[in-house]
Amino acid sequence: MYKRILTIQDISCVGQCSLTVALPILSACGLETVILPSAILSTHTGGFKGFTFRDLTDDIDGIADHWAKEGIFFDGLYTGYLGSVSQIDKVISIADTRLKEGAPLIVDPAMADNGKLYSIFDDEFVKNMRRLTDKADIILPNITEASFLTGIEYKETYDDAYIRQLAESLAANDRQIVVLTGVGYREGKTGVAVYQGGTLQYYEHEKVAKGSHGTGDIYASAFVGAYTQGHSAYDAAVIAADYTVRCILGTQSDPDHWYGVKFEPQLKYLINRL
């Protein structure tokens, strides 16, 4: 079935993250991909200095109203990096009005990593992001985001009881699926934990590099692509992990490419996995 998915996040013109990653990956997965840019930045905020930032919050209502007049609905909504509390409110309203019956809301609460919130976010934003994750069918946080969203202490080393505690505390209801990324129990390894209906499944893979920028967006986009094309949440989590690892491996020998990872040469691999 040909599906139409909406993704709402910023455009960082340079930097291989958010919409410049989501649009090509979702299209490669065979999905009609509608984008709603929440802001336009000259680059992402993770390492470039003096970037421009145009907030498009004021355009969102007009865009959604036009879609309502045209009778446009979506088979899924995937949200990534959002710039403000007011954007979260608008995204909630779009989720309430523009999704087809039963279509999933998939939320990547992109706001933190390595124990810290990204520079522009604060506790108020976290509180409101929790409102959005509570509405979602699937959420894709890393451990830092899970710890901010739940108020559970962030840990660098942990066991599976800690991961279960994070997942249980995040899950807003029995049918919500939590895909926790960057879960590593052993040196040199990391992985994903998928919590669904009280069951926690784990997929371990190689840990290639620490903190490659945009990999969370690449992971989430590939997950959404595979899941929307009919794979189970666990299988989609595995496909997305294998794809992301290949993207990082294909980048790490190029020191000039510090700002993102080369996800394009691996698209063929992703398509073959679907």
Residues at the site binding ligand PXL, with contacts judged by CB under 6 A: 10, 12, 17-18, 41, 44-46, 81, 110, 118, 214, 216-217
Angle at 88 between CA 84 and CA 94, to 5 degrees: 140
Nearest to 107, CA basis, from 86, 84, 83, 88: 88
Closer by beta carbon to ligand PXL, 90 or else 213? 213
Task: Report how far residue 101's alpha carbon sits from residue 79's, in angstroms, rounded to the nearest whole number.
Answer: 18
Nearest to 31, CA basis, from 63, 97, 78: 78
Closer by beta carbon to ligand PXL, 118 or else 185? 118
Closer by beta carbon to ligand PXL, 51 or else 73? 51
Which residues have a Cβ under 8 Å from the Cβ of 45 and sit 6 or more positions away? Answer: 12, 51, 118, 119, 120
Instruction: Identify whether the C-beta of residue 266 lies closer than 8 Å to the C-beta of residue 28.
Output: no
Give the shortest CB-141-to-ligand PXL separation in angstroms. 13
Closer by beta carbon to ligand PXL, 57 or else 229? 57
Give the shortest CB-170-to-ligand PXL separation in angstroms. 19
* Neighbour tally for 122: CB within 10 Å: 10
Beta-bridge partners for 194:
179, 201
Task: Report how far residue 21's alpha carbon sits from residue 27's, in angstroms, rounded to the nearest whole number.
Answer: 10
Give the shortest CB-190-to-ligand PXL separation in angstroms. 17
Instruction: Identify whether the C-beta of residue 88 lies closer than 8 Å to the C-beta of residue 136.
Output: no
Give the shortest CB-67-to-ligand PXL separation in angstroms. 23
Give the shortest CB-214-to-ligand PXL separation in angstroms. 5
Angle at 51 between CA 50 and CA 53, to 5 degrees: 130
Task: Report how far residue 216's alpha carbon sits from residue 206's, in angstroms, rounded to the nearest whole number.
Answer: 16
Give the shortest CB-47-to-ligand PXL separation in angstroms. 9
Which residues have a Cβ under 8 Å from the Cβ of 76 and sit 6 or more positions away? Answer: 3, 5, 6, 99, 103, 104, 105, 106, 224, 228
Closer by beta carbon to ligand PXL, 94 or else 110? 110
Closer by beta carbon to ligand PXL, 83 or else 191? 83
Closer by beta carbon to ligand PXL, 53 or else 202? 53
Give the shortest CB-1-to-ligand PXL separation in angstroms. 30
